[in-house]
Amino acid sequence: MDLSDIARAAGLAQGFLQTIPHVEVRKSPIHGVGLFTLKPLANGHVLVRLDGQRVSIVEAPGVLFTLEWNALSQTELLVRGIRTSYGYINHSRTPNLAIDPATQEIRAVREITASEELLLDYLAQPLPEAYLRDPRAEYLKQ
């Protein structure tokens, strides 16, 4: 059972918790599926404030490849046990979004047109070394 299955079991028909308004999940030319905005977004627009449970990867290393998360530091993650819409934001070395480390807000770093895919540079986060060394993280080097 993956996070989308858990979301459906919780009654979320689309398979994830809608955490960002005016977006949709659809096929991505970058990586399987991605998150696309349905309306234009101004530079600096705050899409969402990330939430979750603070988890030490020293105490729970298994979360790296089983749950949805964002890195707070190389040893601490903000973990979610259910799939969310911001979990569909794909990685790009030329992102249109960034995470403010002080507030954990996802913000537009430039104007974004309607129907554009929303992208973050995952390497801008303090990713755990164990994640970066794993073959499943090879996509970050492309």
Q: Is residue 51 part of a domain?
A: yes
Which band of pLDDT confidence, cut at 50, 70 and 90, is reported for residue 127?
very high
What is residue 17's predicted lDDT score, i.e. its pLDDT?
79
pLDDT tens, position by position, 47-102: 999 999 999 999 999 999 888 999 999 999 999 988 888 889 999 999 999 999 99
pTM: 0.88
What residues make up the domain containing 84? Answer: 3-125
Q: Is residue 136 part of a domain?
A: no
Q: Is residue 130 part of a domain?
A: no
> What is the total count of domains within the chain?
1
Q: Is residue 94 part of a domain?
A: yes
Q: Is residue 140 part of a domain?
A: no
Whole-angstrom distance, CA of residue 39 vs CA of residue 94: 20
Q: Is residue 108 part of a domain?
A: yes
Whole-angstrom distance, CA of residue 42 vs CA of residue 112: 7
pLDDT tens, position by position, 6-41: 556 655 556 777 889 999 999 999 888 999 999 999
Q: Is residue 133 part of a domain?
A: no
CATH number of the domain at 112, please: 2.170.270.10
Whole-angstrom distance, CA of residue 115 vs CA of residue 110: 15
Give Cβ neighbours of residue 14 (< 8 Å, ≥ 6 apart): 7, 25
